[in-house]
Amino acid sequence: LSMTIRRLRLGLNIDHVATVRNARGGAHPDPLRAALLSKSAGVDSITAHLREDRRHIRDADVAALRNDVGLPLNLEMAPTSEMVAIATKHSPHAVCLVPENREEITTEGGLEVAGLQDRLRPMVKELLAAGSRVSLFIEADIAQLKAAAALGVPVVEFHTGRYCEAKGASRSLELERIRSSAKEAALLGLECHAGHGLAFDNVKPIAAIPEIVELNIGHFLIGEAVFIGLKEAISEMRRLMDEAIAVS
Ligand code: PXP
């Protein structure tokens, strides 16, 4: 029996506080205030996605979340020269490179790392040199893992969207795909994170995967905050994650 207690970090994705704020064009609700509240509720980091169209998080939010919260900021962004310039200016704790299509409602899948290696290589180098821990948001897939390892990133984040949307037997298959990819990632020396679509009713099997050390969760927690409050939503997620670790 191993007595090692695995620490599983929870990152709160704050984007949709900004979505609600932007719906009326004013300053309320303020993502910075939500970040400070979530800090007191025990989250380990704040995640924010600066999109090309600035539909939720804006440049001024990035500066405030980076400087005024006192938690590590994980900046999600598309691999573009505009975004790399912003990231190197702020040098957030972490940068997660994600694919971005202008018309999509949300990040629909993982980065095609294998096909983008030449474009990603100088960006990864620049971001690492600026002091950010770089991760790639990928599908749980061996080809993507190998391409990520070849680029020299320290971290990959598995897109859990397909797992969350699948039902019955296909959900088990999706879970198995993430489980086996997490093992492969560890063999390749990559730290594993996971996120997208995670909620109270689907988080535990992902949290129980021993190689995964960080979950980034946004839409569900911000939505649930409407009903039970942000602190309570975070506490309940943390409790479910801890339960999953205890039995894994
Ligand atoms: N991780 C990454 C890399 C993301 O892009 C997102 C948001 O699309 C999340 C985690 C959080 O996803 P959700 O808002 O569905 O919890």
pLDDT digits (tens, 9 = 90+) for 91-139: 999 999 999 887 788 877 899 998 899 999 999 999 999 999 999 999 9
Q: Choosing from 196, 211, 214, 224, which is the catalytic residue? A: 196
Residue 90 among the catalytic residues:
no
Residue 186, pLDDT score: 98
206 in contact with ligand 1, CB cutoff 6 A: no
Beta bridge partners of 158: 138, 194
Rounded distance between C-alpha atoms, residue 143 and residue 113, angstroms: 9
**What's the confidence (pLDDT) of residue 141?**
95
Which residues lie below 8 Å from residue 229, measured CB to CB, with a gap of 6+?
A: none
Selection from 161, 104, 113 nearest residue 135 by Cα: 113
HSE-up of residue 42 (Cα within 13 Å, Cβ side): 13
Mutate to test the pocket of ligand 1, among 44, 73, 107, 134 (most ligand atoms within 8 A of CB): 107
38 pocket-lining for ligand 1 (C-beta < 6 Å): no
pTM to 2 decimal places: 0.96
Check if 137 has its Cβ closer than 6 Å to any atom of ligand 1: yes
Query: Is the shortest distance between the CB of 49 and ligand 1 below 6 Å?
Result: yes
Q: Any idea which of 42-46, 107-111, 217-221 has the lowest mean pLDDT?
A: 107-111
In degrees, rounded to 5, the angle at the alpha carbon of residue 63 between the alpha carbons of residues 134 and 104 is 65
Q: State the pLDDT at residue 90.
A: 97
Average pLDDT over residues 150-170: 97
Report the share of the chain in percent with pLDDT over 90: 91
pLDDT the model gives residue 3 = 55
166-175 mean pLDDT: 97
Is pLDDT at 206 greater than 90 in this prediction? yes
Ligand 1 centroid–CA 55 distance in Å is: 15
Tell me the average pLDDT of the chain: 95
> What count of other Cβ atoms lies within 10 Å of the Cβ of residue 129?
10
188: CA distance to ligand 1 center in Å?
A: 24
53 Cα: distance to centroid of ligand 1 (angstroms): 17
pLDDT of residue 209: 98
Higher pLDDT, residue 193 or 107 = 193
Quote the pLDDT of residue 114.
87
- Give the Cα separation of 210 and 245 in Å (integer): 8
